[in-house]
Amino acid sequence: MTSPADKETPKTSNFLRQIIEHDLAKGTYSGRQWGGSPGDAAHHATGQADPAKVRLRFPPEPNGYLHIGHAKSICLNFGLARDYGGVCHLRFDDTNPEKEDTEYVDAIKDAVQWLGFDWHNHDETNLYQASDYFDFMYRAAEYLIESGNAYVDEQSADEMRIHRGDFVKPGTNSPFRSRTPAENLARFREMRDGKLADGAAVLRAKIDMASPNINMRDPAIYRIRRAHHHNTADKWCIYPMYTYAHPVEDALEQITHSICTLEFEDQRPFYDWLLDKLAEGTLIASPHPRQYEFARLNLTYVLTSKRKLAQLVNEKRVSGWDDPRMPTIVGLRRRGYTPEAIHLFAERIGVTKSDSWIDYSTLEGALRDTLDPVAPRAMAVLDPVKLVLTNWDEVMGADVLDDCSAPVHPHHPEQGTRQFKIGKEVWIERSDYEETPPKGFFRLFPGNKVRLKYGHVIECVGATKDTNGKVTEVLAILIPDTKSGTPGSDAVKVKGVITWVGVNDAVQAEVRLYDRLFTEAHPEADGKDFLENLNPNSLSVVTAYVEPSLAKVEAGQRFQFERHGYFVTDLKNHAAGKAVFNRVTGMKDSWTK
Ligand code: ATP
Ligand code: MG
């Protein structure tokens, strides 16, 4: 089985590829050993030469469902590992005790696999959770204390903030900074043993309070927090800070290239400082991992923050994480996106070092370009009105139904044909009839001829209306000997071709027409609350008729409805006897202004 991730798509070089190629050429990591699982320097020293040429990781915090921004990061990290003979670890960054949930853990695994990637590799299961490293993190903290590189600070949060300084003003040393290693060690152990209240003290790295980089002004690395942890329960009442935990996680896992988003650029000096110290103390293997930053994905009309997406879910602004309007991977999937489309999108947007906004049409473009060659075609009428062929009985015979056929895919005759019947009554789009046609309107109006696609040429003779003037039936006559595919059928020239389905054999379906979730390209521009920019018309549900070839399709199948765009049977609500389609996207770009 080939997954989309295995497919040879042409790759454009980028700065990360260049860095990896350079490291491979130089053999930067060629001497590394791998102990078969994450661990300290001693553990890896017992191992074999690492079978993986590079190690990358995707380290989500399990506090929500992954979104399209994470998909970019997954394609990047797993894609680089695949392309350079390496592996990519899936690591749950669960060092923050309060926010994790196993629902999210399962959803994240599912999303990575759906995208076609795997953390099983070289007989290893590279699925890790950062909380498994708490013991080592604690030991490393004691090492930093003993080597004079960390101290327990008992200033109040306010004092600490004031003493930190700012961009123009250097910080000032804490009065606790000159404690001896022995004092610090004793105090840190009291923190661990629950002798101090939450917030009463933090462990800080001892670096430089005057550093121009504020992140280097003795950053906190451990805090006291009495919180139950889903993995370690109540074993700990102190937890490592993210900036400390993350480099340690990378080092224990022997990550070579630790790729993160640009906002961590200012953390890189601390990343290196910390790992240099731990390598000096031979706690971790050398050479240690290096951090590289790339621009996060910003997509117009879309929020890429788990926290904000959670707010939409919790406030019931959408039906759930998998609402087809959500930019989550489960939402995109239910909307009809394919892994191939997301891979193509990730490849097209590339990897850069400066932040920018990607237009939503780029995502939809990738989807159309991947669906068009493969999606079976079908006819559907989304806003139906009945068309009556008034001379049918005379021309074709009363109750006669005439067979029509159409290719499953116009460019793939080998995929065969779809069959349906035309009779005296068919459903057409309400907008295909105009009593008084505007300029350039070539479809149905009294006296005009059009072709019913794959069927006959007809001439409109008028319409019946209800008392409100609303059209109830469009009336037309069938022109004999004009059926598509029969000799001489094109003798009558027409300017318009309309889609239709037979009243006799059409299948009724619920069709959900989705539009952008926000009315603004930048839902939070100028400090606005994104909730104020929710599009009230992001969903409309219609009762449509689709051709009989769609009577028995399974959930999750994608089609092109001719003229209308791409549609997918809904993964949750579509069932035998109750067809439910989601509009994936229209035929053409309707997003760029
Ligand atoms: P969120 O604010 O949505 O929770 P996060 O960055 O805090 O985002 P994590 O779970 O920590 O979420 O992210 C896991 C990985 O996904 C990180 O390595 C991060 O760099 C990457 N990532 C998250 N959002 C984006 C994005 N918009 N574009 C590219 N990569 C992203
Ligand atoms: Mg986060």
CB burial readout 122-152, b (16+ within 10 A) else e: eeeebebbbbbbbebbbebbbbbbeeebbbb
CA angle centred on 270, ends 265 and 275, rounded to 5°: 120
CATH dotted code for 306-371+509-546+552-585: 2.40.240.10
Return the domain boundaries, the chain: 15-127+242-294, 135-240, 306-371+509-546+552-585, 384-504
Spatial distance between the Cα atoms of 209 and 218, rounded to a whole number of angstroms: 6
In the prediction, which pLDDT does 590 show?
A: 63
Which residues line ligand 1 at a C-beta cut-off of 6 Å?
Answer: 59-61, 69-70, 72-73, 260-261, 296-297, 304-307
Q: Please, how many CA atoms are within 13 Å of residue 71, restricted to the half-sphere of its CB?
A: 32
If you measure from the C-alpha of residue 525 to the centroid of ligand 1, how many angstroms do you get, rounded to a whole number?
20
Ligand 2 centroid, distance to 259 Cα (angstroms): 15
104, 77 contact by CB (below 8 A): no
Name the residue at shortest CA distance from atom 26 of ligand 1: 69
**For residue 490, what pLDDT is reported?**
85
Domain 384-504 in this protein, CATH class: mainly beta
The residue contributing the CA closest to ligand 1 atom 27 is 69
Mutate to test the pocket of ligand 1, among 14, 56, 57, 70 (most ligand atoms within 8 A of CB): 70
Question: 191-200: which pairs have CB atoms within 8 A and are 24 or more residues apart?
Answer: 191/152, 191/222, 191/224, 191/237, 191/238, 192/138, 192/236, 192/237, 192/238, 194/226, 194/237, 196/224, 197/224, 198/224, 198/225, 198/226, 199/157, 199/223, 199/224, 200/154, 200/224
Residue 383 to residue 432: CA distance in whole angstroms? 10
Which ligand 1 atom is at minimum distance from the Cα of 77?
18
Model pLDDT, residue 3: 45
CB atoms within 10 A of CB 46: 10
CA of 265 to the centre of ligand 1 (A): 14
Establish whether domains 15-127+242-294 and 306-371+509-546+552-585 are of one fold: no
Q: What is the side-by-side strand order in the sheet with 238-240? A: 150-153, 202-205, 220-224, 238-240
Alpha carbon nearest to ligand 1 atom 13, residue: 60
User: Mapping DSSP to helix (H, G, I), strand (E, B) and coil, where does residue 84 land?
Assistant: coil
The CA 260 to ligand 1 mean position distance, Å, reads 8
For residue 69, the ligand closest to its alpha carbon is 1
Q: Would you tell me how many other CB atoms lie within 10 Å of the CB of residue 520?
A: 17
Ligand 1 center to 17 CA (angstroms):
20
Report the CATH number of the 135-240 domain. Answer: 3.90.800.10
Please report, in tens digits, the pLDDT of each residue of the chain (593 residues total).
344 444 555 678 999 999 999 999 999 999 999 999 999 999 999 999 999 999 999 999 999 999 999 999 999 999 999 999 999 999 999 999 876 678 899 999 999 999 999 999 768 899 999 999 999 999 999 999 999 999 999 999 999 999 999 999 999 999 999 999 999 999 999 999 999 999 999 999 999 999 999 999 999 999 999 999 989 999 999 999 999 999 999 999 999 999 999 999 999 999 999 999 999 999 999 999 999 999 999 999 999 999 999 999 999 999 999 999 999 999 999 999 999 999 999 999 999 999 889 999 999 999 999 999 999 999 999 999 999 999 999 999 999 999 999 999 999 999 999 999 999 999 999 999 999 999 999 999 999 999 999 999 999 999 999 999 999 999 999 999 999 989 888 889 999 999 999 999 999 999 999 999 999 999 998 888 999 999 999 999 999 999 999 999 999 999 999 999 999 999 999 998 899 999 999 998 765 54
Nearest ligand (C-alpha, residue 265): 1
End-to-end CA, the chain: 41
Q: What is the H or E stretch that residue 224 is in?
A: strand 220-224
Predicted local distance difference test score (pLDDT) of residue 58:
98
Gap between the Cα atoms of 118 and 34, Å rounded: 19
pTM of the model: 0.94
Q: Ligand 2 mean position to 61 CA, how many Å?
A: 6
Q: Which residues are catalytic?
A: 61, 296, 306
Q: What is the dihedral of CA 189, 223, 277, 250, to 10 degrees?
A: 120
pLDDT for res 576: 87
Closest CA to 69 of 336, 363, 292, 335: 363
Pocket test for ligand 1, best of 57, 58, 63, 73 (most atoms within 8 A of CB): 73
Alpha helix ranges (H) inside 27-180:
41-45, 68-83, 102-114, 134-146, 157-164
Q: Among 266, 164, 159, 262, which residue's Cα sits nearest to residue 208?
A: 164
Name the nearest CA neighbour of 575 among 590, 554, 550, 561.
554
Q: What are the tokens at 304? A: 């890429």
**What atom of ligand 1 comes closest to residue 296's alpha carbon?**
28
Per-residue CA distances from 416 to 425, 449, 499, 567 (Å): 26, 30, 20, 20
Residue 291: nearest ligand to its CA? 1
Closest CA to ligand 1's atom 10: 60
- Homologous superfamily of the 15-127+242-294 domain (CATH): HUPs (3.40.50.620)
Token reading at 406: 């159409």
Atom of ligand 1 at shortest range from CA of 261? 20
